[in-house]
């Protein structure tokens, strides 16, 4: 293991539980590299995750780590951030965790623009429970609960989060790992709610059922289907079907929740004290 | 400071004032009748005390946020009523297993479902004990007056911090909204318990080790103790371990700590029990009507006593067993169709006959009804 | 091969205790530096070809690859 990485891992807990070729390790390492670039202190950084294969990542990281309930990482993270705004708070979540059971929390964390960075590990499937379709499974793809193909329409989570009011939204892939790392770093730096969707591979459940049975196949799939956001803007919706639009969708400065709260208290709470 | 003061306040207000005195500095909630005043008041009062308030998107979120805040070393609370209490259950179980102190107020209303939102009830007494899945430690208190609500709230924080266990305060709509004069104790007379911090440096800290008390030391996030908190079963390092031996050790420790520290949370009151033939087991607001009924029955020569439980869960088994040996009949008045009666029957185990006086129409007990119940039992054998 | 792996000049190191034999590093090495052994564990077959692009390290899901130094320093 690279010494730079080693400093941030609980190495005695490796190797991790993820399957051979699973992309979760690639994203996890990208997050660590981004943190290392920024020089963030491990003591002052909190990782919060939900439930799923991807949500096991914090257990391997030598930070303050909190592995919560399915879909709820953001609410625990909100409690941490409001109580200690000085801490860096990072949420790790799966596509099902973030978009199905946790979808409402995602909307509201983005709406508040609270200074939390959310990294969504999107493997297009429920990995932990054995390959059921998630809201981010492509229409027509196969899953254990979609033996005849997935009739659901797939969700563009980046657009949702953008509309909900986040400050930074981007999508990367594990194939394009260097740009992914840069997006994560930008997201971490951003004051406000930032969301990075990291396309990752579940060869065991998504891959096997969709003729992409190995990690290598899925990385090739990412490479062959990725379209940069600038190019996508010039493409017709039909041309974009089945493509993965990657890049930065939003990068703006907006008032952050905990700062706004502090400001309001300064402006209005003083005259009410002693009530 | 210095003087005891008397203040007229609602039960919900008593929760707020006492929580602040107890050191509560974080509240997350979602509006629901009849608990909403707690959130409204804390939105104003917490920042003045250096604390923080947040209105979340639902009760699941409120429960999670309160746990997250508590992990930073901040005493935290959330408040709700029936439908919201149902939503909180999964994360409440998370707090039980991960042993994160948190106080949950449930101002009970008539259910199930949306039920009668403004009507009082004690229908959540069993849910407070077994609402989340799995064996789990939890404390539930049911104060009988506004003054006692104040006291119970301070105690709830103390128990939660000392034993690292979620504590539920079960009010009902009557107490939540009733105004009563409350004797506010002098600051120096209030004893506060704090969670036990780590006794070693970060390198040697084992976040879930049993130091002999059954209650592990707890380091706040962001203070150099980088450890893992998970809702998976875990060993003393805090990391997941799915072995049968670890599961057994963990479950027996977290359940066992409750058994061992009964002195921290047990709170009962016995009145007129020395010569009692009939015993009322009461909790929550019906205890007030029961008290008048007992007084009247006594005046008329009936030997009636009262065993009032304030801390309902864990149930004061031993104490009731002792009392049950000396009486022939036990009556449990409840604003439900007989929930705590089940526990009383289990504990009494045939030592005395157990019956209930029950209301489930959304109205409160009048002393006459309970008196009539006592009479009936008495008359039956005389 | 194994002697090369341990030699000071070897730019790439595979931690065999971490490698899960997924083949990603091998498939995407632009210079075919890496090969699979009988157990599909990655081995450094042609270290002299390595251009230190680090893609193998960055894409290894198991943190098993270390590339020494950098192309651009
Ligand atoms: C309340 C609740 N419902 C369902 C589950 C079962 N469950 C565990 S993980 C999971 C889905 C995980 O999928 P995803 O979030 O995409 O993460 P992945 O495992 O693919 O990384 C489900 C449904 C649960 N743990 N809790
Ligand atoms: S099941 Fe899929 S997502 Fe889970 S560890 Fe295996 S490959 Fe990764
Ligand atoms: S990418 Fe990593 S785990 Fe996969 S074969 Fe190469 S060294 Fe082994
Ligand atoms: S650093 Fe680049 S060239 Fe060298 S082995 Fe790795 S992928 Fe191949």
pLDDT, position C8: 52
Q: What is the 3-state secondary structure (H, E, C) of chain A?
A: CCHHHHCCECHHHCCCCCCCCCCHHHHHHHHHHHHHHHCCCCCCEEEEECCCCHHHHHHHECCEEEECCCCCHHHHHHHHHHHCCCCEEEEEEEHHHHHHHCHHHHHHHHHHCCCCEEEEEECCCECCCCCECCCCCCCCCCECCECCCCCCCCCCHHHHHHHHCCCEEEEEECCCHHHHHHHHHHHHHCCCCEEEEEECCCHHHHHHHCCCCCHHHHHHHHHHHEEEHHHHCCCCHHHHCCCEEEEEEEECCCCCHHHHHHHHHHHHHHHHCCC
**Global ipTM:** 0.97
Chain A, nearest residue to B45 by Cα: A273
Residue B381 has pLDDT above 80, yes or no: no
Angle between helices A73-83 and A103-112 (to 10 degrees): 30
pLDDT one-digit tens code per residue, A221-265: 999 999 999 999 999 999 999 999 999 999 999 999 999 999 999
Whether A120 lines ligand 1, by a CB cut-off of 6 Å, is no
The reply to whether B48 and B146 lie within a common domain is yes
**What are the structural domains of chain C?**
3-67 (3.30.70.20)
- Got the DSSP string for chain C? -HHHHHSTT-SEEE-TTT-----HHHHH-TT--EEE-TTS-EEES-GGG-----HHHHH-TTS-EEE-S-S--
pLDDT, position A83: 98
Q: What is the mean pLDDT of chain B?
A: 96
Cα(A106) to centroid(ligand 3), Å: 34
Q: What angle do CA B369, B374, B376 make, to 5 degrees?
A: 95
Question: Based on C-alpha coordinates, what's the Rg of chain C?
Answer: 11
Domain boundaries, position B207:
202-263
Name every protein residue with a CB atom under 6 angstroms from any ligand 4 atom. Answer: C 12, 29-31, 33-34, 50-56, 67
Out of B161, B189, B217, pick the residue that ends a domain.
B189
Sequence-ordered strand ranges (E) for chain B: 5-10, 26-29, 52-55, 76-80, 102-110, 116-120, 139-141, 166-172, 179-184, 228-230, 268-271, 278-282, 304-309, 311-313, 329-334, 353-358
pLDDT, position C9: 66
pLDDT, position B300: 95
**Chain A partners within 8 Å of B58 (Cβ):** 104
pLDDT, position A73: 99
Q: Looking at the whole model, is its pTM more than 0.95?
A: yes
pLDDT, position C4: 43
In a domain, B382, yes or no: no
Q: CA-CA distances (angstroms) from residue C1 to B336, C26, C31, C38, C44?
A: 78, 16, 17, 13, 7
The reply to whether B89 and B36 lie within a common domain is yes
Whether A96 lines ligand 1, by a CB cut-off of 6 Å, is yes
pLDDT band at A274 (very low <50, low <70, confident <90, very high): very low
The reply to whether B109 and B70 lie within a common domain is yes
Residue B329 has pLDDT above 80, yes or no: yes
The reply to whether B61 and B159 lie within a common domain is yes
Which residue has a Cα nearest atom 5 of ligand 2? A18
The reply to whether B42 and B150 lie within a common domain is yes
The reply to whether B252 and B305 lie within a common domain is no
Extract the tokens encoding B152.
């119970």
**Chain A partners within 8 Å of B222 (Cβ):** 43-44, 46, 64, 84, 86-87
In a domain, B121, yes or no: yes
Out of B246, B263, B280, pick the residue that ends a domain.
B263
The reply to whether B67 and B174 lie within a common domain is yes
pLDDT band at B378 (very low <50, low <70, confident <90, very high): confident
CATH of the domain at B316: 3.40.50.920
pLDDT, position B2: 57
Nearest to A116 by CA among A54, A47, A180, A39: A47
CB C61 within 8 A of CB A23: yes
More confident residue, A273 or A161: A161
Cα(B312) to centroid(ligand 4), Å: 66
User: B292 CB contacts (<8 Å, ≥6 apart)?
Assistant: B367, B370, B371
* CA pair distance C63, A14, nearest whole angstrom: 9
Residue C5 has pLDDT above 50, yes or no: no
Q: Choosing among C54, C61, C62, which should be mutated to test the A contact, i.e. which has the most A CBs within 10 A?
A: C61
In a domain, B196, yes or no: no
pLDDT, position A271: 55
User: Around B272, how many Cα atoms within 13 Å sit in the side-chain half-sphere?
Assistant: 22
Task: Say whether A86 and B240 touch across the interface (CB within 8 A).
Answer: no
Residue A143 has pLDDT above 50, yes or no: yes
In a domain, B58, yes or no: yes
**What are the structural domains of chain A?**
2-273 (3.40.50.970)
Residue A273 has pLDDT above 70, yes or no: no
| Mutational test site, ligand 3, from C40, C41, C62, max ligand atoms within 8 Å of CB | C62
- Measured in angstroms, the CA of B329 and the nearest CA of chain A are apart by 46
Out of B189, B217, B249, pick the residue that ends a domain.
B189
Sequence-ordered strand ranges (E) for B85-216: 102-110, 116-120, 139-141, 166-172, 179-184
| Mutational test site, ligand 2, from A49, A56, A128, max ligand atoms within 8 Å of CB | A128
Mean pLDDT of C1-25: 79
Q: How many domains does chain B have?
A: 3
The reply to whether B150 and B289 lie within a common domain is no
pLDDT, position C6: 47
Angle between helices A24-38 and A177-189 (to 10 degrees): 50
pLDDT band at B380 (very low <50, low <70, confident <90, very high): low
In a domain, B119, yes or no: yes
The reply to whether B182 and B300 lie within a common domain is no
Facing A13 at nearest CB: one of B57, B223, B239 = B239
The reply to whether B291 and B370 lie within a common domain is yes
pLDDT, position B30: 98
**Chain A partners within 8 Å of C64 (Cβ):** 1
pLDDT, position B1: 47
CATH of the domain at B61: 3.40.50.970
pLDDT one-digit tens code per residue, B190-201: 999 999 999 999
In a domain, B369, yes or no: yes
Ligand 1 nearest atom to the CA of residue A52, by list position = 19
The reply to whether B73 and B219 lie within a common domain is no
The reply to whether B233 and B337 lie within a common domain is no
pLDDT band at A275 (very low <50, low <70, confident <90, very high): very low
Q: Choosing among B221, B224, B229, which should be mutated to test the A contact, i.e. which has the most A CBs within 10 A?
A: B221
- Measured in angstroms, the CA of A72 and the nearest CA of chain B are apart by 7
In a domain, B107, yes or no: yes
**Chain B partners within 8 Å of A46 (Cβ):** 221-222
Cα(A59) to centroid(ligand 4), Å: 29
pLDDT band at B99 (very low <50, low <70, confident <90, very high): very high
């Amino acid at each position: 293991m690279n010494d730079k990485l080693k400093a941030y891992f609980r190495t005695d807990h490796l190797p991790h539980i993820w399957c051979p070729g699973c992309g979760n390790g690639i994203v996890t390492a990208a997050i660590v590299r981004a943190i290392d670039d920024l020089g963030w202190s491990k003591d002052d950084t909190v990782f919060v995750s939900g439930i799923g294969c991807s949500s096991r990542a914090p257990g391997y990281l030598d930070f303050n780590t909190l592995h919560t309930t399915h879909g709820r990482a953001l609410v625990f993270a909100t409690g941490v951030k409001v109580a200690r705004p000085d801490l860096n708070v990072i949420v790790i979540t799966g596509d099902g965790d973030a978009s199905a059971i946790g979808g409402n929390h995602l909307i509201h964390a983005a709406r508040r623009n609270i200074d939390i960075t959310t990294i969504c590990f999107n493997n297009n499937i429920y990995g932990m429970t054995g390959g059921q379709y998630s809201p981010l499974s492509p229409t027509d793809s196969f899953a254990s609960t979609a033996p005849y193909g997935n009739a659901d329409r797939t969700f563009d989570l980046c657009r949702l989060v953008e509309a909900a009011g986040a400050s930074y939204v981007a999508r990367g892939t594990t194939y394009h790992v260097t740009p992914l790392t840069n997006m994560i770093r930008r997201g971490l730096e951003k004051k406000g709610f930032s969301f990075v969707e990291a396309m990752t591979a579940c060869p065991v459940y998504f891959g096997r059922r969709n003729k992409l049975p190995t990690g290598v196949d899925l990385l090739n799939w990412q490479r062959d289907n990725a379209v940069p956001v600038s190019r996508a803007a010039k493409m017709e919706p039909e041309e974009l079907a089945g493509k993965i639009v990657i890049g930065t969708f939003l990068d703006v400065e907006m008032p952050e929740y905990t700062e706004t709260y502090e400001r309001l208290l300064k402006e209005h709470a003083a005259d009410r004290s002693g009530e | 400071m210095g003087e005891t003061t008397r203040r007229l306040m609602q039960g919900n207000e008593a929760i707020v004032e006492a929580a602040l005195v107890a050191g509560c500095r974080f509240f997350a909630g979602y509006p629901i009748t009849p608990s909403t005043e707690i959130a409204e008041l804390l939105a104003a009062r917490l920042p003045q005390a250096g604390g923080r308030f947040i209105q979340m998107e639902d009760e699941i979120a409120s429960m999670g946020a309160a746990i997250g805040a508590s992990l930073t070393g901040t005493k935290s609370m959330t408040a709700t009523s029936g439908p919201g209490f149902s939503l909180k259950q999964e994360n409440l179980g998370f707090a039980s297993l991960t042993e994160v102190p948190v106080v949950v107020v449930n101002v009970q209303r008539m259910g199930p479902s949306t039920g009668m939102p403004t009507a009082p009830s004690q229908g959540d007494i069993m849910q407070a004990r077994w609402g989340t899945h799995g064996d789990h430690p939890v404390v539930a208190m049911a104060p009988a007056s506004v003054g006692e609500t104040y006291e119970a709230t301070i105690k709830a924080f103390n128990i939660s911090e000392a034993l690292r266990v979620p504590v539920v305060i079960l009010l009902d709509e009557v107490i939540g909204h009733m105004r009563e004069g409350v004797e506010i104790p002098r600051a120096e007379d209030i004893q506060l318990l704090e969670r036990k911090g780590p006794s070693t440096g970060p390198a040697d800290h084992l976040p879930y080790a049993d130091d002999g008390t059954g209650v592990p030391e707890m380091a706040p996030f962001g203070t150099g103790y980088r450890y893992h908190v998970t809702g998976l079963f875990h060993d003393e390092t805090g990391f997941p371990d799915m072995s049968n031996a670890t599961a057994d050790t963990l479950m027996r420790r977290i359940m066992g700590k409750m058994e061992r520290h009964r002195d921290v949370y047990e709170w009962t009151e016995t009145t007129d029990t020395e010569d009692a033939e009939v015993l009322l087991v009461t909790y929550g607001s019906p205890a007030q009507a029961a008290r008048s009924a007992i007084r009247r029955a006594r005046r008329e020569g009936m030997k009636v006593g009262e065993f009032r439980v304030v801390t309902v869960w864990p149930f004061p088994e031993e104490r009731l067993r002792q009392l049950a040996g000396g009486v022939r009949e036990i009556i449990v008045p409840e604003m439900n169709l007989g929930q705590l009666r089940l526990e009383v029957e289990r504990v009494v185990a045939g030592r005395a006959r157990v019956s209930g006086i029950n209301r489930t129409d959304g109205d409160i007990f009048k002393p006459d009804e309970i008196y009539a119940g006592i009479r009936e039992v008495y008359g039956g054998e005389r | 091969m194994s002697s090369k792996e341990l030699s000071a000049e070897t730019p790439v190191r595979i931690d065999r205790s971490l490698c899960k034999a997924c083949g990603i590093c091998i498939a995407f090495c632009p210079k075919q530096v890496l090969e699979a052994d009988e157990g599909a564990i990655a081995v450094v077959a042609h270290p002299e070809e390595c251009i230190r692009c680090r893609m193998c390290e960055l894409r290894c899901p198991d943190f098993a690859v270390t590339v020494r130094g950098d192309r651009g320093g």
